[in-house]
Structure 1
Amino acid sequence: MTSPSLTLILWAGAWLGGHASPDDVIDALHTWAPTHVLCAADDDVARSAGLPERGVVDGAATLLTTVRTVDTVRAAGLRLVLAAPGDARGLPAGTAFAAAAMDARQGILVGVPGAPGAGLVPVVEGPDVLRWTVFTVDPIPDPGAVPSLGEAEFAIREAVRDAAATLAGIPTVGSGTDIGDPRSRIASAAAELARHRYPSSLPVRAARVLDSADQVEAILTVAAGGGAERAGSASGTSGREEALRALSSALRVARSGAVAAALHGH
Protein backbone atom coordinates (compact mmCIF):
# COMPACT_ATOMS: atom_id res chain seq x y z
CA MET A 1 0.00 0.00 0.00
CA THR A 2 1.15 3.49 -0.77
CA SER A 3 -0.17 5.54 2.16
CA PRO A 4 -1.11 5.31 5.84
CA SER A 5 -4.59 6.58 4.92
CA LEU A 6 -5.13 3.61 2.62
CA THR A 7 -3.95 1.22 5.33
CA LEU A 8 -6.17 2.76 7.99
CA ILE A 9 -9.32 2.89 5.88
CA LEU A 10 -9.06 -0.72 4.69
CA TRP A 11 -8.24 -2.15 8.10
CA ALA A 12 -10.65 0.08 10.03
CA GLY A 13 -13.36 -0.86 7.55
CA ALA A 14 -12.64 -4.55 8.13
CA TRP A 15 -12.71 -3.97 11.89
CA LEU A 16 -15.98 -2.02 11.85
CA GLY A 17 -17.46 -4.72 9.63
CA GLY A 18 -16.51 -7.44 12.12
CA HIS A 19 -13.76 -8.98 9.95
CA ALA A 20 -10.68 -7.87 11.90
CA SER A 21 -9.69 -7.18 15.48
CA PRO A 22 -8.38 -3.87 16.82
CA ASP A 23 -4.97 -5.52 17.21
CA ASP A 24 -5.00 -6.39 13.50
CA VAL A 25 -5.55 -2.72 12.62
CA ILE A 26 -2.87 -1.53 15.03
CA ASP A 27 -0.35 -4.04 13.67
CA ALA A 28 -1.04 -2.85 10.11
CA LEU A 29 -0.57 0.79 11.13
CA HIS A 30 2.67 0.01 12.92
CA THR A 31 4.15 -1.08 9.59
CA TRP A 32 4.24 2.65 8.78
CA ALA A 33 5.59 3.83 12.13
CA PRO A 34 5.97 2.38 15.64
CA THR A 35 4.41 5.46 17.21
CA HIS A 36 1.14 7.14 16.23
CA VAL A 37 -0.12 10.33 17.88
CA LEU A 38 -3.49 12.01 17.46
CA CYS A 39 -4.50 15.63 17.85
CA ALA A 40 -7.58 17.79 17.21
CA ALA A 41 -7.37 20.69 14.77
CA ASP A 42 -10.10 22.64 16.59
CA ASP A 43 -12.19 22.61 19.75
CA ASP A 44 -15.36 21.43 18.00
CA VAL A 45 -13.81 18.23 16.70
CA ALA A 46 -12.05 17.70 20.03
CA ARG A 47 -15.42 17.62 21.78
CA SER A 48 -17.19 15.48 19.15
CA ALA A 49 -14.33 12.98 18.88
CA GLY A 50 -13.50 12.86 22.58
CA LEU A 51 -10.00 14.30 22.15
CA PRO A 52 -8.17 16.86 24.28
CA GLU A 53 -8.47 20.43 23.02
CA ARG A 54 -4.72 20.91 23.37
CA GLY A 55 -1.80 18.55 22.88
CA VAL A 56 -1.65 15.05 21.47
CA VAL A 57 -2.84 11.60 22.48
CA ASP A 58 -0.52 8.64 22.01
CA GLY A 59 -1.49 5.36 20.44
CA ALA A 60 -3.06 3.87 17.34
CA ALA A 61 -5.81 2.48 19.59
CA THR A 62 -7.03 6.02 20.25
CA LEU A 63 -7.18 6.55 16.50
CA LEU A 64 -9.57 3.60 16.19
CA THR A 65 -11.71 4.88 19.05
CA THR A 66 -11.95 8.26 17.32
CA VAL A 67 -13.00 6.70 14.02
CA ARG A 68 -15.68 4.62 15.74
CA THR A 69 -16.94 7.66 17.70
CA VAL A 70 -17.37 9.78 14.59
CA ASP A 71 -18.45 7.00 12.19
CA THR A 72 -21.97 6.27 13.38
CA VAL A 73 -22.80 4.19 10.29
CA ARG A 74 -19.81 1.84 10.62
CA ALA A 75 -17.59 1.29 7.58
CA ALA A 76 -20.09 2.95 5.21
CA GLY A 77 -19.05 6.31 6.66
CA LEU A 78 -15.41 6.05 5.61
CA ARG A 79 -14.00 7.54 2.41
CA LEU A 80 -10.45 7.69 1.08
CA VAL A 81 -9.28 10.99 -0.42
CA LEU A 82 -6.16 11.05 -2.60
CA ALA A 83 -5.24 14.56 -3.67
CA ALA A 84 -2.52 16.17 -5.78
CA PRO A 85 -1.82 19.66 -7.12
CA GLY A 86 -4.51 20.37 -9.68
CA ASP A 87 -6.64 17.44 -8.50
CA ALA A 88 -8.89 18.29 -5.54
CA ARG A 89 -11.59 15.73 -6.27
CA GLY A 90 -13.48 14.68 -3.16
CA LEU A 91 -12.13 17.49 -0.98
CA PRO A 92 -14.51 19.89 0.82
CA ALA A 93 -13.50 23.20 -0.75
CA GLY A 94 -12.13 25.94 1.46
CA THR A 95 -11.65 23.81 4.58
CA ALA A 96 -8.61 23.30 6.77
CA PHE A 97 -8.94 19.57 6.10
CA ALA A 98 -8.75 20.16 2.34
CA ALA A 99 -5.57 22.23 2.71
CA ALA A 100 -3.92 19.63 4.95
CA ALA A 101 -4.98 16.71 2.72
CA MET A 102 -3.62 18.50 -0.34
CA ASP A 103 -0.28 19.05 1.39
CA ALA A 104 -0.15 15.40 2.50
CA ARG A 105 -1.73 14.15 -0.75
CA GLN A 106 -4.00 11.90 1.28
CA GLY A 107 -6.68 11.83 3.93
CA ILE A 108 -9.83 10.13 5.17
CA LEU A 109 -13.34 11.53 5.47
CA VAL A 110 -15.46 10.10 8.27
CA GLY A 111 -19.22 10.61 8.25
CA VAL A 112 -22.33 10.69 6.10
CA PRO A 113 -22.54 13.04 3.08
CA GLY A 114 -24.56 16.14 3.92
CA ALA A 115 -24.04 15.80 7.68
CA PRO A 116 -21.26 16.99 10.01
CA GLY A 117 -18.25 14.69 10.20
CA ALA A 118 -14.50 14.70 10.44
CA GLY A 119 -11.39 14.39 8.35
CA LEU A 120 -8.10 12.70 9.26
CA VAL A 121 -4.72 13.54 7.76
CA PRO A 122 -1.43 11.76 8.62
CA VAL A 123 1.92 13.54 8.56
CA VAL A 124 5.32 11.97 9.17
CA GLU A 125 7.06 13.70 12.08
CA GLY A 126 10.21 11.62 12.04
CA PRO A 127 11.42 8.10 11.30
CA ASP A 128 9.34 6.66 14.14
CA VAL A 129 6.32 8.97 14.53
CA LEU A 130 3.17 9.50 12.47
CA ARG A 131 0.87 12.32 13.58
CA TRP A 132 -2.85 12.15 12.70
CA THR A 133 -4.75 15.43 12.82
CA VAL A 134 -8.55 15.34 13.10
CA PHE A 135 -10.48 18.18 11.44
CA THR A 136 -14.10 19.26 11.57
CA VAL A 137 -15.79 18.78 8.17
CA ASP A 138 -19.31 20.24 8.03
CA PRO A 139 -20.87 19.01 5.91
CA ILE A 140 -19.22 15.89 4.52
CA PRO A 141 -19.26 16.44 0.73
CA ASP A 142 -21.04 14.18 -1.71
CA PRO A 143 -18.57 11.66 -3.14
CA GLY A 144 -19.66 12.19 -6.73
CA ALA A 145 -19.21 9.42 -9.28
CA VAL A 146 -17.25 6.46 -7.93
CA PRO A 147 -15.80 4.01 -10.47
CA SER A 148 -16.73 0.36 -10.21
CA LEU A 149 -14.00 -2.25 -9.90
CA GLY A 150 -14.34 -3.05 -13.59
CA GLU A 151 -14.02 0.64 -14.50
CA ALA A 152 -11.01 0.99 -12.19
CA GLU A 153 -9.23 -1.95 -13.84
CA PHE A 154 -9.98 -0.59 -17.29
CA ALA A 155 -8.78 2.90 -16.29
CA ILE A 156 -5.40 1.56 -15.17
CA ARG A 157 -4.91 -0.43 -18.38
CA GLU A 158 -5.87 2.54 -20.55
CA ALA A 159 -3.69 4.96 -18.62
CA VAL A 160 -0.67 2.65 -18.85
CA ARG A 161 -1.20 2.18 -22.58
CA ASP A 162 -1.60 5.91 -23.23
CA ALA A 163 1.43 6.80 -21.11
CA ALA A 164 3.56 4.15 -22.83
CA ALA A 165 2.53 5.43 -26.26
CA THR A 166 3.31 9.02 -25.31
CA LEU A 167 6.67 8.24 -23.73
CA ALA A 168 7.72 6.03 -26.65
CA GLY A 169 7.25 8.98 -29.01
CA ILE A 170 9.49 11.36 -27.04
CA PRO A 171 13.12 11.44 -28.21
CA THR A 172 15.60 10.93 -25.35
CA VAL A 173 19.26 11.61 -24.74
CA GLY A 174 21.68 10.14 -22.21
CA SER A 175 21.76 11.87 -18.85
CA GLY A 176 25.34 10.90 -18.16
CA THR A 177 24.29 9.33 -14.87
CA ASP A 178 24.12 5.61 -14.28
CA ILE A 179 21.79 4.90 -11.36
CA GLY A 180 21.38 1.17 -11.86
CA ASP A 181 19.13 -1.27 -13.65
CA PRO A 182 15.60 0.18 -13.80
CA ARG A 183 14.06 -3.29 -13.51
CA SER A 184 15.86 -3.89 -10.22
CA ARG A 185 14.79 -0.48 -8.94
CA ILE A 186 11.18 -1.12 -9.92
CA ALA A 187 11.26 -4.51 -8.19
CA SER A 188 12.65 -2.88 -5.06
CA ALA A 189 9.97 -0.18 -5.08
CA ALA A 190 7.24 -2.79 -5.60
CA ALA A 191 8.57 -4.90 -2.72
CA GLU A 192 8.42 -1.88 -0.41
CA LEU A 193 4.74 -1.38 -1.25
CA ALA A 194 3.98 -5.09 -0.90
CA ARG A 195 5.16 -5.28 2.72
CA HIS A 196 1.85 -3.69 3.77
CA ARG A 197 -0.80 -6.40 4.16
CA TYR A 198 -4.46 -6.33 3.11
CA PRO A 199 -7.28 -7.54 5.36
CA SER A 200 -8.30 -11.10 4.48
CA SER A 201 -11.87 -9.85 3.95
CA LEU A 202 -10.83 -7.58 1.07
CA PRO A 203 -12.59 -8.74 -2.12
CA VAL A 204 -10.22 -10.47 -4.53
CA ARG A 205 -10.97 -8.07 -7.37
CA ALA A 206 -10.39 -5.02 -5.17
CA ALA A 207 -7.05 -6.48 -4.08
CA ARG A 208 -6.16 -7.05 -7.74
CA VAL A 209 -6.88 -3.41 -8.59
CA LEU A 210 -4.77 -2.21 -5.66
CA ASP A 211 -1.93 -4.59 -6.56
CA SER A 212 -1.99 -3.37 -10.17
CA ALA A 213 -1.93 0.23 -8.97
CA ASP A 214 1.05 -0.54 -6.74
CA GLN A 215 2.98 -2.11 -9.62
CA VAL A 216 2.41 0.98 -11.75
CA GLU A 217 3.26 3.20 -8.77
CA ALA A 218 6.63 1.45 -8.53
CA ILE A 219 7.29 2.31 -12.17
CA LEU A 220 6.29 5.93 -11.55
CA THR A 221 8.59 6.10 -8.54
CA VAL A 222 11.55 4.99 -10.62
CA ALA A 223 10.59 7.31 -13.49
CA ALA A 224 10.34 10.28 -11.13
CA GLY A 225 13.81 9.51 -9.80
CA GLY A 226 15.38 9.97 -13.21
CA GLY A 227 17.59 7.56 -15.06
CA ALA A 228 20.13 7.14 -17.75
CA GLU A 229 17.92 8.90 -20.31
CA ARG A 230 15.94 12.11 -20.33
CA ALA A 231 13.76 13.95 -22.80
CA GLY A 232 15.79 15.66 -25.50
CA SER A 233 13.81 18.93 -25.56
CA ALA A 234 11.68 21.21 -23.40
CA SER A 235 8.53 20.07 -25.19
CA GLY A 236 9.56 16.45 -24.69
CA THR A 237 10.10 17.06 -20.98
CA SER A 238 6.67 18.69 -20.74
CA GLY A 239 5.05 15.80 -22.60
CA ARG A 240 6.77 13.27 -20.36
CA GLU A 241 5.62 15.05 -17.21
CA GLU A 242 2.05 15.30 -18.49
CA ALA A 243 1.96 11.58 -19.32
CA LEU A 244 3.16 10.69 -15.83
CA ARG A 245 0.65 13.10 -14.22
CA ALA A 246 -2.20 11.49 -16.16
CA LEU A 247 -1.04 8.06 -15.06
CA SER A 248 -0.83 9.19 -11.41
CA SER A 249 -4.36 10.59 -11.66
CA ALA A 250 -5.66 7.29 -13.02
CA LEU A 251 -4.06 5.46 -10.10
CA ARG A 252 -5.75 7.77 -7.58
CA VAL A 253 -9.13 7.17 -9.20
CA ALA A 254 -8.58 3.41 -9.34
CA ARG A 255 -7.50 3.16 -5.71
CA SER A 256 -10.45 5.27 -4.55
CA GLY A 257 -12.79 3.07 -6.55
CA ALA A 258 -11.30 -0.14 -5.14
CA VAL A 259 -11.62 1.12 -1.56
CA ALA A 260 -15.18 2.33 -2.10
CA ALA A 261 -16.14 -1.03 -3.57
CA ALA A 262 -14.54 -2.89 -0.67
CA LEU A 263 -16.26 -0.76 1.99
CA HIS A 264 -19.56 0.11 0.38
CA GLY A 265 -20.19 -2.76 -2.01
CA HIS A 266 -20.13 -0.65 -5.18
Structure 2
Amino acid sequence: MSSPSATLAVWSSAWLSGAAAADDVLDALQDWAELHEVVAADERLAATLEIPLRGEAGGSPAVLLAALRRSGAVNAELVMPVPGDVRGLGGASQFASEALRAGEAVVLNGLGIVPERLGGNVDTGIIRWTVFEIERTSPTPNVPLGEAEHELTGAMRVAAGMLLELGVAKQRAGVREELQARVAERTKARWPAGTPQRALRVLQRAAEVSAILELAMEDEPGGALSASAALKRAEALRPLFHAVRTARCAAVAEAVRALDVSDAH
Protein backbone atom coordinates (compact mmCIF):
# COMPACT_ATOMS: atom_id res chain seq x y z
CA MET A 1 0.00 0.00 0.00
CA SER A 2 1.25 3.50 -0.64
CA SER A 3 -0.21 5.99 1.86
CA PRO A 4 -3.53 7.53 2.91
CA SER A 5 -2.52 10.67 1.06
CA ALA A 6 -1.90 8.75 -2.17
CA THR A 7 -5.36 7.20 -1.91
CA LEU A 8 -7.00 10.57 -1.28
CA ALA A 9 -5.03 12.26 -4.06
CA VAL A 10 -5.93 9.74 -6.75
CA TRP A 11 -9.54 9.08 -5.77
CA SER A 12 -10.48 12.70 -5.06
CA SER A 13 -9.01 13.72 -8.42
CA ALA A 14 -10.98 10.99 -10.15
CA TRP A 15 -14.15 12.16 -8.41
CA LEU A 16 -13.56 15.84 -9.14
CA SER A 17 -13.11 15.07 -12.84
CA GLY A 18 -16.14 12.79 -13.01
CA ALA A 19 -14.24 9.51 -13.33
CA ALA A 20 -15.42 8.13 -9.96
CA ALA A 21 -18.38 8.42 -7.61
CA ALA A 22 -18.17 9.98 -4.17
CA ASP A 23 -18.96 6.62 -2.57
CA ASP A 24 -15.94 5.14 -4.35
CA VAL A 25 -13.67 7.70 -2.67
CA LEU A 26 -15.17 7.01 0.75
CA ASP A 27 -14.86 3.25 0.29
CA ALA A 28 -11.20 3.54 -0.76
CA LEU A 29 -10.37 5.52 2.39
CA GLN A 30 -11.74 2.63 4.46
CA ASP A 31 -8.64 0.67 3.48
CA TRP A 32 -6.73 2.94 5.84
CA ALA A 33 -9.00 3.33 8.86
CA GLU A 34 -12.51 2.55 9.98
CA LEU A 35 -13.22 6.20 10.75
CA HIS A 36 -12.01 9.47 9.23
CA GLU A 37 -12.61 12.97 10.49
CA VAL A 38 -11.91 16.29 8.81
CA VAL A 39 -11.04 19.63 10.43
CA ALA A 40 -9.80 23.05 9.31
CA ALA A 41 -6.61 24.53 10.70
CA ASP A 42 -8.09 28.01 11.31
CA GLU A 43 -11.43 29.74 11.77
CA ARG A 44 -11.47 31.57 8.44
CA LEU A 45 -10.87 28.38 6.46
CA ALA A 46 -13.46 26.53 8.53
CA ALA A 47 -16.04 29.17 7.66
CA THR A 48 -15.07 29.32 3.99
CA LEU A 49 -15.09 25.57 3.42
CA GLU A 50 -17.86 24.83 5.90
CA ILE A 51 -15.92 22.21 7.81
CA PRO A 52 -15.35 22.01 11.60
CA LEU A 53 -12.49 23.90 13.21
CA ARG A 54 -9.62 21.91 14.70
CA GLY A 55 -10.45 21.24 18.33
CA GLU A 56 -14.11 20.62 17.53
CA ALA A 57 -15.73 17.32 16.56
CA GLY A 58 -14.48 16.51 13.07
CA GLY A 59 -16.58 16.30 9.94
CA SER A 60 -16.86 13.28 7.66
CA PRO A 61 -14.88 12.61 4.46
CA ALA A 62 -18.06 13.50 2.56
CA VAL A 63 -17.79 16.97 4.09
CA LEU A 64 -14.22 17.16 2.78
CA LEU A 65 -15.30 16.24 -0.75
CA ALA A 66 -17.98 18.92 -0.67
CA ALA A 67 -15.37 21.42 0.53
CA LEU A 68 -13.00 20.47 -2.30
CA ARG A 69 -15.77 20.95 -4.84
CA ARG A 70 -16.63 24.29 -3.24
CA SER A 71 -13.00 25.40 -3.39
CA GLY A 72 -12.78 24.81 -7.14
CA ALA A 73 -10.08 22.15 -6.79
CA VAL A 74 -9.41 19.97 -9.83
CA ASN A 75 -6.36 17.74 -9.53
CA ALA A 76 -4.57 16.65 -6.37
CA GLU A 77 -0.85 16.24 -5.84
CA LEU A 78 0.88 13.84 -3.46
CA VAL A 79 3.85 15.21 -1.53
CA MET A 80 6.06 13.04 0.69
CA PRO A 81 8.55 15.33 2.44
CA VAL A 82 11.41 14.22 4.68
CA PRO A 83 14.12 16.27 6.45
CA GLY A 84 16.45 17.54 3.77
CA ASP A 85 13.88 17.14 0.98
CA VAL A 86 10.82 19.33 1.48
CA ARG A 87 9.82 19.79 -2.15
CA GLY A 88 6.15 20.53 -2.61
CA LEU A 89 5.59 22.25 0.73
CA GLY A 90 5.88 25.81 -0.56
CA GLY A 91 8.14 27.27 2.12
CA ALA A 92 7.95 27.48 5.90
CA SER A 93 4.42 27.30 7.30
CA GLN A 94 2.31 25.38 9.77
CA PHE A 95 1.20 23.15 6.91
CA ALA A 96 4.82 22.45 5.95
CA SER A 97 5.72 21.61 9.54
CA GLU A 98 2.84 19.18 9.99
CA ALA A 99 3.27 17.61 6.55
CA LEU A 100 6.95 17.04 7.30
CA ARG A 101 6.06 15.40 10.61
CA ALA A 102 3.51 13.15 8.89
CA GLY A 103 5.81 12.44 5.94
CA GLU A 104 2.94 12.96 3.51
CA ALA A 105 0.20 15.35 2.45
CA VAL A 106 -2.17 16.19 -0.40
CA VAL A 107 -2.12 19.54 -2.19
CA LEU A 108 -5.12 20.83 -4.18
CA ASN A 109 -5.71 24.34 -5.49
CA GLY A 110 -4.23 26.30 -2.60
CA LEU A 111 -5.24 23.74 0.03
CA GLY A 112 -2.94 21.38 1.89
CA ILE A 113 -4.37 18.32 3.66
CA VAL A 114 -2.37 16.34 6.24
CA PRO A 115 -3.44 12.96 7.68
CA GLU A 116 -2.79 11.94 11.28
CA ARG A 117 -3.54 8.51 12.71
CA LEU A 118 -5.10 8.89 16.13
CA GLY A 119 -4.39 5.35 17.28
CA GLY A 120 -5.60 1.86 16.63
CA ASN A 121 -5.18 -0.19 13.49
CA VAL A 122 -7.03 -0.16 10.17
CA ASP A 123 -10.04 -1.88 11.71
CA THR A 124 -10.38 0.31 14.80
CA GLY A 125 -8.33 3.44 14.16
CA ILE A 126 -9.19 6.98 13.21
CA ILE A 127 -7.41 9.23 10.74
CA ARG A 128 -7.84 12.96 11.16
CA TRP A 129 -7.36 15.07 8.03
CA THR A 130 -6.42 18.68 8.76
CA VAL A 131 -6.98 21.19 5.95
CA PHE A 132 -4.70 24.21 5.61
CA GLU A 133 -4.78 27.20 3.30
CA ILE A 134 -1.45 27.44 1.48
CA GLU A 135 0.12 29.82 -1.01
CA ARG A 136 1.46 27.14 -3.34
CA THR A 137 -0.40 27.06 -6.63
CA SER A 138 1.92 25.43 -9.18
CA PRO A 139 2.53 21.67 -8.91
CA THR A 140 5.94 20.31 -7.99
CA PRO A 141 7.68 18.90 -11.07
CA ASN A 142 7.83 15.12 -10.79
CA VAL A 143 10.45 12.79 -12.18
CA PRO A 144 9.04 11.12 -15.35
CA LEU A 145 7.39 7.83 -14.46
CA GLY A 146 9.75 5.80 -16.67
CA GLU A 147 12.78 7.32 -14.97
CA ALA A 148 11.28 6.75 -11.53
CA GLU A 149 10.53 3.12 -12.39
CA HIS A 150 14.09 2.58 -13.61
CA GLU A 151 15.51 4.08 -10.40
CA LEU A 152 13.17 1.92 -8.34
CA THR A 153 14.23 -1.25 -10.15
CA GLY A 154 17.82 -0.47 -9.28
CA ALA A 155 16.79 0.23 -5.69
CA MET A 156 15.07 -3.17 -5.55
CA ARG A 157 18.32 -4.94 -6.42
CA VAL A 158 20.34 -2.89 -3.95
CA ALA A 159 17.78 -3.39 -1.17
CA ALA A 160 17.71 -7.15 -1.70
CA GLY A 161 21.51 -7.21 -1.59
CA MET A 162 21.40 -5.13 1.57
CA LEU A 163 19.24 -7.76 3.27
CA LEU A 164 21.86 -10.36 2.46
CA GLU A 165 24.72 -8.14 3.59
CA LEU A 166 22.99 -7.38 6.87
CA GLY A 167 22.24 -11.04 7.38
CA VAL A 168 18.54 -10.43 7.98
CA ALA A 169 17.56 -13.80 6.53
CA LYS A 170 19.92 -15.57 8.92
CA GLN A 171 18.74 -13.62 11.94
CA ARG A 172 15.00 -13.96 11.35
CA ALA A 173 13.29 -17.28 10.78
CA GLY A 174 10.63 -17.16 8.07
CA VAL A 175 11.83 -13.83 6.72
CA ARG A 176 10.59 -14.62 3.19
CA GLU A 177 7.06 -15.29 4.44
CA GLU A 178 7.18 -12.19 6.61
CA LEU A 179 8.21 -10.11 3.62
CA GLN A 180 5.42 -11.53 1.47
CA ALA A 181 2.86 -10.75 4.18
CA ARG A 182 4.09 -7.16 4.45
CA VAL A 183 3.93 -6.66 0.69
CA ALA A 184 0.40 -8.12 0.57
CA GLU A 185 -0.73 -5.73 3.31
CA ARG A 186 0.76 -2.73 1.53
CA THR A 187 -0.70 -3.51 -1.87
CA LYS A 188 -4.33 -4.17 -0.99
CA ALA A 189 -5.42 -0.59 -1.71
CA ARG A 190 -7.92 -0.21 -4.54
CA TRP A 191 -7.45 2.28 -7.38
CA PRO A 192 -9.94 3.78 -9.86
CA ALA A 193 -10.76 2.05 -13.11
CA GLY A 194 -8.62 3.63 -15.80
CA THR A 195 -5.52 3.99 -13.61
CA PRO A 196 -2.57 3.36 -15.98
CA GLN A 197 -1.05 -0.10 -15.64
CA ARG A 198 2.45 1.35 -15.47
CA ALA A 199 1.48 3.54 -12.52
CA LEU A 200 -0.03 0.51 -10.78
CA ARG A 201 3.12 -1.48 -11.47
CA VAL A 202 5.31 1.24 -9.99
CA LEU A 203 3.11 1.49 -6.88
CA GLN A 204 3.37 -2.29 -6.47
CA ARG A 205 7.15 -2.23 -6.83
CA ALA A 206 7.41 0.70 -4.41
CA ALA A 207 5.47 -1.34 -1.85
CA GLU A 208 7.84 -4.27 -2.33
CA VAL A 209 10.96 -2.14 -1.90
CA SER A 210 9.43 -0.37 1.11
CA ALA A 211 8.72 -3.71 2.80
CA ILE A 212 12.31 -4.84 2.22
CA LEU A 213 13.64 -1.57 3.63
CA GLU A 214 11.50 -1.90 6.74
CA LEU A 215 12.97 -5.35 7.38
CA ALA A 216 16.47 -4.06 6.78
CA MET A 217 15.96 -1.21 9.28
CA GLU A 218 14.75 -3.44 12.10
CA ASP A 219 17.17 -4.77 14.69
CA GLU A 220 17.68 -8.48 14.87
CA PRO A 221 15.56 -10.31 17.46
CA GLY A 222 17.13 -10.36 20.90
CA GLY A 223 19.72 -7.73 20.13
CA ALA A 224 20.43 -4.28 18.77
CA LEU A 225 22.97 -2.70 16.50
CA SER A 226 25.52 -0.30 17.88
CA ALA A 227 24.74 3.36 17.32
CA SER A 228 27.48 3.65 14.70
CA ALA A 229 26.30 0.53 12.86
CA ALA A 230 22.70 1.74 12.90
CA LEU A 231 23.78 5.10 11.49
CA LYS A 232 25.82 3.43 8.76
CA ARG A 233 22.85 1.27 7.84
CA ALA A 234 20.49 4.25 7.72
CA GLU A 235 22.91 6.17 5.48
CA ALA A 236 23.19 3.21 3.12
CA LEU A 237 19.43 2.83 2.84
CA ARG A 238 18.54 6.54 2.50
CA PRO A 239 18.86 6.64 -1.33
CA LEU A 240 16.52 3.65 -1.51
CA PHE A 241 13.88 5.36 0.60
CA HIS A 242 14.26 8.37 -1.71
CA ALA A 243 13.64 6.14 -4.75
CA VAL A 244 10.45 4.80 -3.17
CA ARG A 245 9.12 8.29 -2.40
CA THR A 246 10.01 9.57 -5.87
CA ALA A 247 8.33 6.61 -7.52
CA ARG A 248 5.14 6.91 -5.49
CA CYS A 249 4.79 10.61 -6.24
CA ALA A 250 5.46 10.03 -9.95
CA ALA A 251 2.95 7.15 -10.13
CA VAL A 252 0.25 9.16 -8.37
CA ALA A 253 0.89 12.14 -10.66
CA GLU A 254 0.54 9.88 -13.71
CA ALA A 255 -2.67 8.35 -12.35
CA VAL A 256 -4.16 11.77 -11.64
CA ARG A 257 -3.27 12.97 -15.14
CA ALA A 258 -4.79 9.90 -16.80
CA LEU A 259 -7.97 10.10 -14.74
CA ASP A 260 -8.58 13.75 -15.55
CA VAL A 261 -11.59 13.17 -17.79
CA SER A 262 -12.29 16.89 -18.10
CA ASP A 263 -8.79 17.52 -19.43
CA ALA A 264 -9.12 14.67 -21.92
CA HIS A 265 -12.12 16.28 -23.61
Fold match, TM over 0.5? yes
Is the alpha carbon distance of 1:167 and 1:24 closer, same or farther for their aligned partners in structure 2, counting shifts above 3 Å? closer
Give me the whole-angstrom Cα distance separating, in 1, the residues matched to 2:119 and 2:161.
40
For residues 41-74 of structure 1, give each alpha carbon's deviation from its aligned partner in whole angstroms, at most 9, with x where no partner exists. Answer: 112322332223461333221121122222x252
1:24 is matched with: 24
Is the alpha carbon distance of 1:230 and 1:83 closer, same or farther for their aligned partners in structure 2, counting shifts above 3 Å? farther
Q: 1:185 aligns with which of 153, 175, 178?
A: 178
Greater relative CO (CA pairs within 8 A, separation 6+): 2
Deviates more, 1:34-43 or 1:48-57: 48-57
Give me the whole-angstrom Cα distance separating, in 2, the residues matched to 1:73 and 1:109.
10
Give me the whole-angstrom Cα distance separating, in 2, the residues matched to 1:96 and 1:14.
28
For residues 181-233 of structure 1, give each alpha carbon's deviation from its aligned partner in whole angstroms, at most 9, with x where no partner exists. Answer: 21111111111112211112211111111111011111112222233699988
Is the alpha carbon distance of 1:253 and 1:3 closer, same or farther for their aligned partners in structure 2, counting shifts above 3 Å? same
Give me the whole-angstrom Cα distance separating, in 2, the residues matched to 1:184 and 1:166.
18
1:137-148 equivalent positions in 2, closer than 5 A: 137-140=134-137, 142-148=138-144
Is the alpha carbon distance of 1:50 and 1:225 closer, same or farther for their aligned partners in structure 2, counting shifts above 3 Å? same
* Structure 2 residue 104 is the aligned partner of structure 1 residue 106: yes
| Structure showing the higher strand proportion among its residues | 1
* Structure 2 residue 132 is the aligned partner of structure 1 residue 135: yes
Q: 2:200 aligns with which of 204, 207, 219?
A: 207
2:148 is matched with: 152
How many correspondences in the alignment? 254
Is the alpha carbon distance of 1:23 and 1:191 closer, same or farther for their aligned partners in structure 2, counting shifts above 3 Å? same
Shift of 1:241: 1.3
Structure 2 unmatched ranges of 5 or more? 261-265
Give me the whole-angstrom Cα distance separating, in 1, the residues matched to 2:84 and 2:203.
23
Shift of 1:167: 6.8
1:82-101 equivalent positions in 2, closer than 5 A: 82-101=80-99
2:69 is matched with: 68
Q: 1:118 aligns with which of 111, 129, 136?
A: 111
**8 Å contact from structure 2 (residues 86, 100) kept in 1:** yes
2:34 is matched with: 34
**8 Å contact from structure 2 (residues 9, 78) kept in 1:** yes
SS in structure 2 at match of 1:258? helix
1:80 is matched with: 78
Is the alpha carbon distance of 1:107 and 1:174 closer, same or farther for their aligned partners in structure 2, counting shifts above 3 Å? closer
**8 Å contact from structure 2 (residues 38, 128) kept in 1:** yes
Give me the whole-angstrom Cα distance separating, in 2, the residues matched to 1:197 and 1:6.
11
For residues 83-116 of structure 1, give each alpha carbon's deviation from its aligned partner in whole angstroms, at most 9, with x where no partner exists. Answer: 12222121122111110011111101111xxxxx
Deviates more, 1:243-252 or 1:84-93: 84-93
Structure 1 unmatched ranges of 5 or more? 112-116
1:114 is matched with: none
Give me the whole-angstrom Cα distance separating, in 2, the residues matched to 1:150 and 1:134.
32
Give me the whole-angstrom Cα distance separating, in 2, the residues matched to 1:161 and 1:174.
15
TM-score by length of 1: 0.85
> Which amino acid letter does the alignment assign opposite residue 150 of structure 1?
G
Is the alpha carbon distance of 1:33 and 1:165 closer, same or farther for their aligned partners in structure 2, counting shifts above 3 Å? closer
2:263 is matched with: none
1:151-170 equivalent positions in 2, closer than 5 A: 151-163=147-159
**8 Å contact from structure 2 (residues 51, 64) kept in 1:** no
Give me the whole-angstrom Cα distance separating, in 1, the residues matched to 2:243 and 2:204.
14
Q: How much is the aligned-residue C-alpha RMSD, in angstroms? A: 2.8
